[in-house]
Amino acid sequence: MLTGMHLLLSGIVGSVAYGLAGPGSDTDRIGVFAAPTVAFHGLHPPRESVVTTDPDVTLHEAGKYAKLALSGNPTATELMWLPGDCYETRTEFGERLIAIRSAFLSAPRVRDAYLGYATQQFRKLTTRDSSLGGRRRSAKHARHLARLLHQGRVLYATGVLEIRLADPEWFRAFGERVAGGALDEAEALVAAAQRDFDTIRTPLPERPDEATVEGWLLDVRAAHLPPAG
């Protein structure tokens, strides 16, 4: 999958990391890899992402990953905040990435990303399928909506991303209620989160610390140059 590439950091994300996994849940993995630096100067630059579905793995090249995380992308961001037992690969550059995780954060992007992704989940709920499979999908969308809003608010209020949920049963029960027809609960949760984002005094800066992120990325590029001589 990564011929000539170097995996820097990878781990298990999604429902397993959140504590929401059930008997039929998939195990999702995400990682960051470095391509040889000289490859960026040829006619055919290296792939920015490698995605497989069996197993479910998404790998981003270091530059692509940095841009995603700087934009506030929740899935990319959570890789740097995983519980220790969820990591599967941790290299020196992976450890450095974890150490600078706060540099990627900014108040506007956290708010927009988490509210935006939660709103996408809400839209999916408004086109519910009444079949058994449709109800299961609705419950999943509702759980993700609630989880995104919770994580986003905590991150916005504290500067810390909570991955493993303290009360996963609440999210499961919420998902079942919404899937059973309580769409108004989901709508109210989104509205409450919007109000909270408007009133919370966040410690997050207005802009991410791009200089620190750039320093990490340039060091990755330097380390993946061919040996001198």
CA distance 17 to 196: 25
Model pTM? 0.91
190-203, pLDDT tens digit by residue?
999 999 999 999 99
How far is Cα 212 from Cα 218, in angstroms, rounded to an integer?
10
User: For residue 31, what are the β-bridge partners?
Assistant: 10, 59
For 6-105+208-223, the fitting CATH number among 1.10.3470, 3.30.70, 2.40.30, 3.30.460 is 3.30.460
Res 43: pLDDT: 86
Reported in sequence order, the residue ranges of the chain that DSSP labels E, i.e. its strands, are 6-13, 28-34, 49-53, 56-61, 87-90
pLDDT digits (tens, 9 = 90+) for 151-210: 999 999 999 999 999 999 999 999 999 998 999 999 999 999 999 999 999 999 999 999
CB 165 within 8 Å of CB 209: no
DSSP code of 25? -
CA of 57: how far to CAs of 9, 26, 29, 53, 105, in Å? 13, 11, 5, 7, 24
Q: Evaluate if residue 24 carries a pLDDT over 80.
A: no
For the segment 96-153, what is each residue's pLDDT rounded down to a tens digit?
999 999 999 999 999 999 999 999 999 888 876 666 567 888 999 999 999 999 999 9
* Domain definitions of the chain by residue range: 6-105+208-223, 107-199
